[in-house]
Structure 1
Amino acid sequence: MLELALREDGFAFIGAGVMRALLGDGTAHDTRAWANFASSWHDLAEDSYLAQVGLRRRRRHAVFVANVSGELHRAAHQPHYQSRDYNTLQGGIERWFEPIRPDVADCAPMRRLLGFAHALFGGLAPQVTQWHVEVHQFRIEALPERHGQPTPEGMHRDGVNFVMVVLIDRHNITSGTTSIHALDGGEIGSFTLTRPLDTAFVDDGRVYHGVTAVAPLDPAQPAWRDVLVVTFRAAVGPAGS
């Protein structure tokens, strides 16, 4: 069902209950492991690049290499780069973010999510023999005087093959609605990630996607939206290419 939706529509939204069933092996049902995983979002570093333009966001970043046999290895820490074609605000520069902690990168929930994405996206593009995988922990903070902006802002593509966005937590916020647009600009879907493990999948070459800013429900209390964003980009195509 999920693979078919991506093939036909270029995107899919999977609710938390279905996602737990798809993950299968019990990892997502281990409440202690998930709680430890989710708590790591309290330890993200400020995005200093975004702070230069007056916005607030916290994040950590890691790069993995995945091959056709299913193996997935963490690569040496490296910058995140997007061209200005895909990120008009901060494209065209190498951005170095604090790395995802080793215990977080290697924990069961993270590895199960990455393995699931690898199997799904590898099935959609069997000709790809090696993937460049980037993993981002994001916390979008909402303040009374300034709503929390998504990343990147506005409707966009990421310049990769596939994207998986997993909701980790929503605290004291409203909005944060995802919309999907065809390449001609017409909206073809919208949904809001509201429960931990609500997940969106996007075929980045076929659709644009964007998320509305989040605002605090209670302006006197902290407010945030925590997500795990995973992108897959073909690093090596068919053998001999």
Structure 2
Amino acid sequence: MAIKSDIHLRDALSTAGHIHGNTSDLFAEDLTETTDWKQFADSWNDMPVDDYMADRGRYRHRRFAEFRQTENAHDIEELATTTYRQSKDYNHLNGGIDRHYSSIEPRIKRNTAFRSILGRFHALIPQAHESGTWLIQVFQNRIYARTGELGKPTPEGMHRDGVDFVLSLLINRNNVVGGESGTYCGITDRELSQVTLKRPGDYIFLDDRRMKHAVRPITPAVATMPGYRDVLIAMFTAQT
């Protein structure tokens, strides 16, 4: 598959406010076929449960970390914090409190596939070189679907995250149906696109200042077995 140019993707992101595709469009080597990706993807099998769900759900398991990317840096600097906070203006369900999560494992923070993903999508931001420093907040999310309990990738519903750009990257889907991702006009709430991330490496990258987004619940494809949906979320915010 031909590698899409940064100029083409930046223009599409600037015009439409969102793009979607697969990482095979972005790297000369299929990232999902590498040993580094396998180690990266396998780490989703060790996600602690999210104890901050105001709906009392036990379906979300996650880890969190923050990084700093500077314009001229060849690498991404890891930050020490594992505390995450959103205003209730953006997250009416779980916002308004400090949430303390287990950190992404050190070996994953150093993983080449992981760092390549962050660097590649940072490079697609149209204004990447206008702000010298970007904060990157990263979640590893596993959403379980079980008989009698819906798995809700976005339990807060249609929303913004209060950042500049948001990446949703599929790592794996196992025994689930549903999980369609919708992108909406930030002013009118009109649906602009709906896609289902199906293959490892499928992604949506959107301008959070202009767009809202939501993901429909997932249910088990085979009711007698649990299913899950693994996603990397990376949120980019320009630092002034």
TM-score (norm 1): 0.91
- Which of 209, 228, 235 is 2:239 aligned to? 235
- Which of 2, 8, 17 is 2:9 aligned to? 2
Shift of 1:152: 4.5
1:212 counterpart residue number: 216
Aligned pair in 2 of structure 1 residues 30, 217: CA closer, same or farther (>3 Å)? closer
1:181-200 residue pairs with structure 2 within 5 A?
A: 181-182=184-185, 183-200=187-204
Shift of 1:104: 0.7
- Which of 202, 209, 212 is 2:206 aligned to? 202
2:3 counterpart residue number: none
1:109 counterpart residue number: 113
| Bigger share in helix | 1
SS in 1 for 2:72: coil
1:116-131 residue pairs with structure 2 within 5 A?
A: 116-121=120-125, 123-131=126-134
1:150 counterpart residue number: 153
SS in 1 for 2:40: helix
Aligned CA RMSD, in angstroms, stands at 1.5
Shift of 1:29: 5.3
SS in 2 for 1:149: coil
The 8 Å contact of residues 68 and 78 in structure 2, kept in 1 or not, is answered as yes
2:138 counterpart residue number: 135
Shift of 1:50: 1.6
Is 1:225 equivalent to 2:225 in the alignment? no
The count of corresponding residues between Structure 1 and Structure 2 is 231
Runs of 4+ in 1 over 4 A off after TM superposition: none
Most deviating of 207-216 and 76-85: 76-85
Structure 2 unaligned regions, length at least 5:
1-7
The 8 Å contact of residues 152 and 216 in structure 2, kept in 1 or not, is answered as yes
SS in 2 for 1:23: coil
- Which of 43, 54, 58 is 1:40 aligned to? 43
CA offset digits 1:112-132 (Å, max 9, x no partner): 0011012112x4343211111
1:14-29 residue pairs with structure 2 within 5 A?
A: 14=21, 16=22, 19-24=23-28, 26=29, 28=31
- Which of 74, 77, 80 is 1:73 aligned to? 77
